Amino acid sequence: MVDYKKDASELLTLIGGRENISSVTHCATRMRFVLQNPDNADIEAIEDLPAVKGTFTQAGQFQVIIGNDVAIFYNEFSKISGIEGVNKEDAKVDAKKNMSILQRMLAGLAEIFTPLIPAIVVGGLILGFRNVIGDIKFLEDGTKTIVDVYPFWAGVYSFLWLIGEAVFHFLPVGITWSIAKKMGTTQILGIVLGLTLVSPQLLNAYSVVETKAGDIPVWDFGFAQVQMIGYQAQVIPAIMAGFLLAYLEIWLRKFIPNAISMIFVPFFALVPTVLAAHVILGPIGWKIGDAISNVVYAGLTGGLSWLFAALFGFLYAPLVVTGLHHMTNAIDLQLMSQFGGTNLWPMIALSNIAQGSAVLAIIFLHRGNEKEEQVSIPATISCYLGVTEPAMFGINLKYLYPFVAAMIGSAIAAVVSVSSGVMANSIGVGGLPGILSINPKYYAIFAICMLITIVVPFILTVLFRKYNILNKVDTAPIRTFGKKEYRESAKTTN
């Protein structure tokens, strides 16, 4: 077992001492600090520690990459510093003091969708698999699908829709539950609220357009009628209703005595919220969602779609750095609900691949640097599977030029994707497996886009390094295929 006492002790000093640490916790690979004054941390010296594989700051937390031994390192650090760790939720709350109002709003949006990601990924993979067996006609001279020929796979195709429908059509249930969980209110009430938005008693949201106004069922209160319309797959109405329920419950608990709170708080929180959801919030949220999706769709299909695609492909990675990328989840889901698919998601999957390819080029340029490879190799794999943060914060942003090379490759691929009309049937896992979410008729062109995001960022990263373009920190010699030699990259040459 590696002894981390020396590194833990030095980290405590370099991070500004015990008095600079507001709270500390850890995740699977990283120490997460909330610092009183982040400027007091000597980042360059910290990254020189043998146990440290990189650092970055996100969501108000200074994160130190340790690797799989992070739990051992954390225990040593706690002994030396005398600081007891907190759980991750408390650390998030503490970190908000270092965040702007916009950052707090974006962090809140991220906290809503993060617990839903496993279900969305599974749903995307399932719908992608259904694409392959039910939509691609590659049997009997291209006239039939696997489902058409084999009864077993027809049964699988039908069965898997049970899960796909649960994930995407009943998504409002997950959203309202996640909001209740985030706000610390009664989670079952959040679930019930979500169910009232997608109940079978309501006219399915997908049937509203084709239903005559006079045929839409209503609740008749005598003096007023309320249309019984469902909000299947609708994101914004669910978010608005979820927050209303949470804030109403919090407000009621301030005035209703504990002795009777179990009876009256749920009743006076849930009933008005459900009514408001169907009378006010739902219709307003639907229009907002339609407006957003129409603007995005028009941008991606209009005369300047190539420009929109280039900008999105180029800027998506910086959006991930700021946390703004979480907004795309809501937009993608809204596009799927309104147009039956999304042309935004393919560009996100391509950006994931591009960042991974840039790191792959760094692995090639710096081969022999075993310490860096402990970060770069897993980060590349992670990118190709749709998770880019380890690559961006651990490698690409540190050197900058691979980050920009990836952005350029992503932009080129995005233009090709949008210009070719590539559409994803669903969102799910990104990176290379993202092709499973693509409508099968676009598989070939999307494969070409994937190839672009593999080749272009790799070549640009090598060229940028060779000619010192956008390079201020990487002074390691360019490796050849001959003798292996490596000297540690300087932290700065300014």
Q: The sheet that has 21-26: what strands, in order across it?
A: 21-26, 30-35, 61-65, 54-58
Q: Annotate 142-154 with DSSP letters as a single string.
A: TTB-HHHH-HHHH
Residue whose C-alpha is closest to residue 277's, from 249, 251, 305, 245: 245
How is the chain split among helix, strand and coil, in percent rounded to 5? 65, 5, 25
Number of residues assigned to the chain: 494
Q: CB under 8 Å to 82, separation ≥6 — which residues?
A: 18
Q: What DSSP state is assigned to residue 477? A: P
**CA end-to-end distance (rounded Å), the chain:** 39
**Looking at the DSSP assignment, which residues form a beta bridge with residue 59?**
none
Sign of CA dihedral 152, 145, 333, 203: negative
Helix pair angle (282-301, 236-253), 10° resolution: 150
Residue 27 bears catalytic tag:
yes
Is residue 190 within 8 Å of residue 176, measured between CB atoms?
A: yes
Instruction: Classify the C-alpha dihedral 397-400-405-411 as positive or negative.
Output: positive
Task: Please identify which of the residues 3, 5, 18, 27 carries the catalytic annotation.
Answer: 27
Q: Which residue has the tokens 């608990």?
A: 253
Please say whether the dihedral angle defined by the alpha carbons of residues 452, 422, 198 and 330, taken in this order, is positive or negative. positive
- What are the DSSP calls for 242-293, one per residue? HHHHHHHHHHHHTTS-HHHHHHHHHHHHHHHHHHHIIIIIHHHHHHHHHHHH
Burial-class residue 118 by CB neighbours within 10 Å (0-12, 13-18, 19+).
exposed
The contacts of residue 193 (CB under 8 Å, 6+ apart) are 176, 241, 242, 245, 270, 273, 274, 277
Q: How far is residue 239 from each of residues 18, 180, 288, measured CA to CA in Å?
A: 40, 10, 12
Contact 78, 16 (CB under 8 A): no
CA-wise closest residue to 390 among 11, 60, 54: 54
| ∠ Cα 411 413 415 (to 5°) | 70
List, by residue number, the catalytic residues: 27
